Amino acid sequence: MKEKRSDKKVVTGLLGLCLLAAVLVSGGCLYRMFTRPNYVAARSYTLQIYPGDGLDKVLDCLQDSLARPDELRRVARLMKLGDELRSGNYVVRPGMSSRAMVNMLRDGLQTPVKVRFNNVRTLEQLAGLLSRQVMLDSLSLLEAFQSQALMDSMGFTPETVPALFIPDTYEVWWNASSDRLMKTFVRAYQRFWNDERVAKAARLSLSEVEVSILASIVEEETNMAAEWPVIAGLYLNRMRRNMYLQACPTIKFALNDFALQRILKVHTQVESDYNTYTHLGLPPGPIRIPSVAVLEAVLNAEENNYLYMCAKDDFSGSHFFSSTLAQHNRYAERYHQALNRRRIYH
């Protein structure tokens, strides 16, 4: 009897050891499945998850970069990853394990994106540019730009609201709401218009918006940065003398034709509040979203005696500046002759 009991103990002990070994082996396999690298590509991959996207979207995007796609699916199930993922911009980095990827997606640990804009004329262009960098579509962005609540809170009108947008690089959440995105732009506007810049504008007898309007005209006149403060000083001189600005870019804006190379008399007769040949002072709003560099050029406008400018006849993009109409007319005649030689009639 004692021998039988002893045999039973041995068998029980062996079974226990086998069970323990199985548990250890299973646990070890599970541990490796959770922790070993699964994303094996050499470069990071950016996943942009929209509302309604699930794990299949992730697997489709990463299928060529995962050592074991089925492992990611099993880990997602064990970690109770939902059928619909949280929207966002997720960066999958080399060497990430299945658990790390699932944690990132489950907890919404997204990476912010850097959105940039510069050299933009209209709000429609800005909306289109930003829609390629964030989750929002261009129509939603344009509606946010033109929100009456926004304009009322900031003191803008539909004509002046382009002045709100300060060209720069902004770090935002890719899936940010339009309200949150607009708050980012509002904060940037308020940071830019600090006490020092407001004081500079006041010394020129301009408001912040008027600086933006003038800067938009200056930037359309030339891409020669050295001329920006000169042109700003020229237009300020005309404004102080109660002269029409006669700025050709405002005519192009009124006609919605920035490709015009030659402004004719018929163009200057267009019926528009933006026609600075027939309306004194600045137009109702910016004719483009001016860059920071041009805004600074206006705030630091050159003190000069110029009242007229004319593009040089070498088509270099630079200008002749004049203090008298007679001198200006001589430069203008040279430029018109050069246009004729090149057969540029409009």
Sign of CA dihedral 238, 239, 244, 250: positive
Q: Choose from 33-47, 271-285, 303-317 the range with maximum mean pLDDT.
A: 271-285
Tens digits of per-residue pLDDT, 197-234? 999 999 999 999 999 999 999 999 999 999 999 999 99
pLDDT at 277 over 80: yes
Tokens 């289109």 sit on residue: 128
Confidence category of residue 31, pLDDT binned at 50, 70, 90? low
Instruction: Tell me what pLDDT residue 1 has.
Output: 54
pLDDT at 17 over 50: no
d(CA 71, CA 33): 7
Instruction: Tell me what pLDDT residue 204 has.
Output: 97
Instruction: Tell me what pLDDT residue 9 has.
Output: 55
Confidence category of residue 3, pLDDT binned at 50, 70, 90? low
SS3 (DSSP) at 263: coil
Q: Pick from 188, 199, 224, 205: which is nearest to 297 by CA?
A: 224
CATH 3.30.1490 location in the chain = 31-107
Tens digits of per-residue pLDDT, 104-141? 999 999 999 999 999 999 999 999 999 999 999 999 99
Confidence category of residue 99, pLDDT binned at 50, 70, 90? very high
Q: What is the CA radius of gyration of the chain?
A: 33
Specify the length of the chain in residues. Answer: 346
Mean pLDDT value of segment 154-162: 96
Q: What torsion, rounded to 10 degrees, do the Cα atoms 247, 250, 254, 255 define? A: 70
Confidence category of residue 16, pLDDT binned at 50, 70, 90? very low
Considering the domain 31-107, what is its CATH architecture? 2-Layer Sandwich (3.30)
Instruction: Tell me what pLDDT residue 7 has.
Output: 56
d(CA 219, CA 182): 25
Name the percent of the chain lying above pLDDT 90. 80
d(CA 244, CA 182): 35
Confidence category of residue 336, pLDDT binned at 50, 70, 90? confident
